[in-house]
Each structure stands twice: as C-alpha cells, then as structure tokens.
Amino acid sequence: MTTEMPLKLKIVIPDYGHTQALKEGKVPIEGVTPEFLKVEPIIAAYRRMIRDVEFDACELAATTYIVARAYGAPFKALPIFLMRRFHHSGIVCREDAGIKVPKDLEGKKVGVRAYTVTTGVWTRGVLASEYGLDLSKVTWVVDDEEHVKGLQLPANVVHVAEGESLVSMMGSGKIQAGFTSNAGIGRQGPPKAGWTGVTPPPPEIYHDLLENTDSLEAAWFKRTGIYPMHGLLVVKDSLLAAHPGLAKSLFKAFTEAKDEYCTRLRSDEEMNSREDKIYKGFMKFVGDDPLPYGIKANRSSIEALIDYAFDQKLIPRRMTVDELFVDPEA
C-alpha cells in the first residue's frame, strides 16, 4: 500500500506468540503506523467493536463476527485466523443425569455462557453432524447477553433464573451438562482457571461427554479437512474502501510474523507456553503450519462455520465466503 503519509490505525489483538514480532515492531506493516491497544479481557473489545465500531482493526470471535456482519456491521474480515481449536472436548455431564452419548443430551438442559460463543457453535455443529444430536431438543441455558443487539435467539435458548448461575444450576442438577474452558484443546494443555460455563468439577460428580478426544479430533480433521477457527481480524469498511492496498499490507505483515513463530515451533527452540504446546500438538496432524491464513487454505472450515451458524438459527440466511471476507491474495 502506498500513501504519502503512513495510515495510523488503532488495532486491538491479544498477545499471541504469532503476533509478537508484529506488536514489537520487528515486522512492519507497509504504509501503516499501528497503535496496538490493550483491552482486557479481549471479550470487552469484541463488544466495543460490534456496538460502537471503536477501533480501526480488531480481533473478533469468528461466530460473533459472522452474526454481526449478517446484521449489517460496517467492518469486514481478513482471512487472518488468530486462534485455532478443536471441539470434541469441552462438555462435562453430571454422573446422575444418564448421559452416556451425545444423543442423551436431548431433553436435557446444557449450560453455556452465551449461545453465540464460538466454542458452543462449533461443538453443537460437531455433535449434530457427527453424532446425530437434534439441537432443537436440547434446552441451552445461558447467563450472559449476546454481543449483537437485536439478535433473536431460538425458543429453546433460555437465560438463567434470577439469583441463579450456571455454576449453581450445574451443582444442584438443574442443568445436566455444561461447556468448560477446556473446550477445543483436548487434553493437550493444562486447564486454565475460569470456565466457559461451569466451574472445574470434582471428577466423581462430572464426566466428559466424549472420551479420547485427541484421537477423535485428529480423525475428524483428516476426514473433513475442517480446522475450526476462533479469532479473526476485522477492519472497518470505510478504511478498506479508502485504502485499496490495506488488506494486502495487513495480510502480508501478519503472515510474516506468524511464519516466524511457526519456524520457531518447528525448531528445537524451547517454547513452553500453553499456546505453544497446543499448536505443537496440533502440528502432529494438521501439518507444519498450525495457523494457516488465506481463503484457499480455509474455505472448507469457513463454509462449515457458516453452515453451523445458519443451522443454529444465528443468521437469517447462509452467507457466502465473499460476503464475509476480503481476499488479499486475489
């Protein structure tokens, strides 16, 4: 991108290993002077971007973005996928609920922080497509508001009662299963504090819905080619229109920083963060690049998430990849 003066952009992305070189200025963005803003937790940035379009570029959860774009959000995604996870793991069930297989969730209540949480959308999609779960026969219990105002949720999505929480309802048996923050990492990394829906349970009370999830996820990827994305980068429509080379500049810089990180992952260099261990584990079956960017490399994964969002009644129609993404490689 060529301009007389560098374009100043306010950008919000978390501190990832694959964006470190970018945020430290070791990898420049052609034609851009970035101001990297820190917003914690990152979910607060999601809400501020969706509701107030506060930043020039921002990470958003993938499903959150698709829903926002379907409802007219004035920003568009680049195929820069800042987080990847798998979703056969992450649901725990009460031992006394009689839940042995995914179909047993029908007629039950399942807790999740919000219905549009990307983890929930991917997991529900897997359970429906792979295990025949009828999602309409499950009551999904949520305890947070959705980012996109005006979104009408399906009738089988209910909010926790006043004075209750997912934690208390899971503990008392008012809900029989719930999503955890382990969702999407199998057993390849240690659990982190804080859960997507319910608190870390005593093993004698709760059990995982699916076992041997690492093997299930590897086999699913090999068969389908679907590699679930979570975070992606969005940029204001007005900036993309006014600066036609901006998408290419951002894509080139993010790719260069990511490639440097992946080179270190493949080396003998000691890299022991939780994030490093997760991606090293994924490399065993997804290949040498556990963070593929671009539409061509991700089309089947993007289309799967669009299908899941539509099937789960989060968007009014199936959107196309071109509607949702700028292709900086075109």
Tell me what the mean pLDDT of segment 243-249 comes to: 97
Tokens linked to 265: 């992952």
Tell me what the mean pLDDT of segment 262-269 comes to: 90
Position 194 scores a pLDDT of: 34
User: Which residue type occupies 280?
Assistant: K
Region of poorest pLDDT, from 99-113, 142-156, 188-202: 188-202
In percent, the amount of the chain with pLDDT more than 90 equals 78
Closest by Cα among 238, 224, 198 to 76 = 238
Q: What is the DSSP string of 215-270?
A: HHHHHHHHHH----B-EEEEEEHHHHHH-TTHHHHHHHHHHHHHHHHHHHHHSS--
- Walk across the sheet containing 91-94 and list its strands: 157-159, 139-142, 109-111, 177-179, 91-94, 206-208
Q: Is the pLDDT of residue 187 over 60?
A: no
Architecture of domain 91-224: 3-Layer(aba) Sandwich (3.40)
Q: Which residue has the tokens 């382990």?
A: 182
Angle between helical axes of 246-266 and 274-286 (0-180°, round to 10): 90
Q: Is the Cβ–Cβ distance between 133 and 101 less than 8 Å?
A: no
SS3 (DSSP) at 15: coil
Average pLDDT of the residues of the chain: 90
- pLDDT, tens digit (0-9, with 9 covering 90-100), for 48-106: 999 999 999 999 999 999 999 999 999 999 999 999 999 998 899 999 999 999 999 99
Position 5 scores a pLDDT of: 76
Q: Is the pLDDT of residue 30 over 70?
A: yes
For the whole model, what pTM was predicted?
0.91
Tell me what the mean pLDDT of segment 296-313 comes to: 97
Position 195 scores a pLDDT of: 40
CA separation for the pair 190, 192 (Å, rounded): 6
Position 35 scores a pLDDT of: 97
Going from N- to C-terminal start, the domains of the chain cover 7-84+227-324, 91-224
- Position 205 confidence tier, pLDDT thresholds 50, 70, 90: confident
**Number of residues that this document lists for the chain:** 330
- Position 190 confidence tier, pLDDT thresholds 50, 70, 90: very low
SS3 (DSSP) at 159: strand
End-to-end CA distance of the chain: 15
Between these two residues, 207 and 201, which has the higher pLDDT value? 207
Region of poorest pLDDT, from 130-134, 197-201, 224-228, 297-301: 197-201
In this structure, whether the domain defined by 7-84+227-324 belongs to CATH 3.30.565.10 is answered with no
- pLDDT, tens digit (0-9, with 9 covering 90-100), for 118-147: 999 999 999 999 999 999 999 999 988 888
Between these two residues, 272 and 40, which has the higher pLDDT value? 40
Q: Do domains 7-84+227-324 and 91-224 have the same CATH topology?
A: yes
Q: Which residue has the tokens 């499903």?
A: 63
Q: Where are the beta strands (DSSP E) in the chain?
A: 7-12, 32-37, 57-61, 75-81, 91-94, 109-111, 139-142, 157-159, 177-179, 206-208, 231-236
CA separation for the pair 192, 180 (Å, rounded): 10
